[in-house]
Amino acid sequence: MRDERFPLVRRHAALRCAVGDYGPLGFNATWAYLSTTACPTPDLRRDSAALLRALATLEESRAAHLAEMDAFAARRRVEKAVGRRTPRASDTATLRFPRWPSSAPPSRLGLIAAVANRHSAFQRIPYPDETLSPDIEVRRLANLHARLEGCAASYLKALGRLDRRAAAELTDTVHGIRNLGRPGYSPLNMYLLPWLRFANLLTYAVDVSLAIEH
């Protein structure tokens, strides 16, 4: 990617492959984050300098992630030695939920771009057919969908800022979506899991914004 003897289109494709291997926010959200933080010229297809800035951002995050994993592995070795065979949920949360590992706070503008990218995808997700789960009221599904849409729209309109009341509304909405899921295979999960992935990304972005402001 750094070798300017190669065509920019090939280096661009190599960066996309790298994001495929390491995309802490998910592929599309990570790409949106990198494209935005490569400003002031985020056109990675045509700007070699922007591509290199995006690569440096990705490499810094991956280095932070690897350091976290090394620390986690060392901690688990000690815990296993004293009989604690199961890691705490807080220790594995970083593996299950989107976040941007970094030695510095994540870019608020980068997270706004990531949320905006996934918000567009969320709006295109087919709505669940109520016949898939007749025990769930259609109104409950519609209410949760509208609430998540409202939380996302508010976050984007406020350019990455939500007050604590709105953040609490998001938390309650995510909890409601999780409660609708069914263990094992369920046709309804095919719709709800993409909702939940978007909700988790939005929650992380909101948490980062609140932490930066305080």
Closest to 125 measured CA to CA, from 143, 149, 101: 149
Predicted pLDDT of residue 63: 97
Band of residue 132 on the pLDDT scale cut at 50, 70, 90: low
**What pLDDT does 50 receive?**
92
**pLDDT exceeds 80 at position 129:** no
pTM: 0.90
Q: How confident is the model at residue 137 (pLDDT cuts 50, 70, 90)?
A: low
| pLDDT > 70: percent of the chain | 93
Q: What is the pLDDT of residue 133?
A: 64
What is the Cα–Cα distance from 63 to 178, expressed in whole angstroms? 32
The residue among 19, 98, 198, 209 whose CA lies nearest residue 35 is 19
Angle separating helix axes 27-37 and 8-21, nearest 10 degrees: 130
Using a pLDDT cut of 90, give the percent of the chain over it.
56
Q: Tokens 């409950």 map to which residue? A: 140
What was the pLDDT predicted at 157? 94
pLDDT of residue 91: 74
Q: What's the mean per-residue pLDDT of the chain? A: 88
Q: Which residue type is seen at 8? A: L
pLDDT band at 39 (very low <50, low <70, confident <90, very high): confident
Residue with the bigger pLDDT between 83 and 60: it is 60
Binned at pLDDT 50, 70 and 90, residue 42 comes out as low
**How many secondary structure helices (H) and strands (E) does the chain include?**
8, 0
For 70-120, the pLDDT digits (tens) are 998 998 899 888 888 888 777 777 778 999 999 999 999 999 999 999 999
CA 71 to CA 208: how far, in whole Å?
Answer: 22
Q: In the prediction, which pLDDT does 162 show?
A: 84
Q: Please state the separation of Cα 108 from the chain's center in Å.
A: 13
Q: What does the pLDDT read at residue 4? A: 76
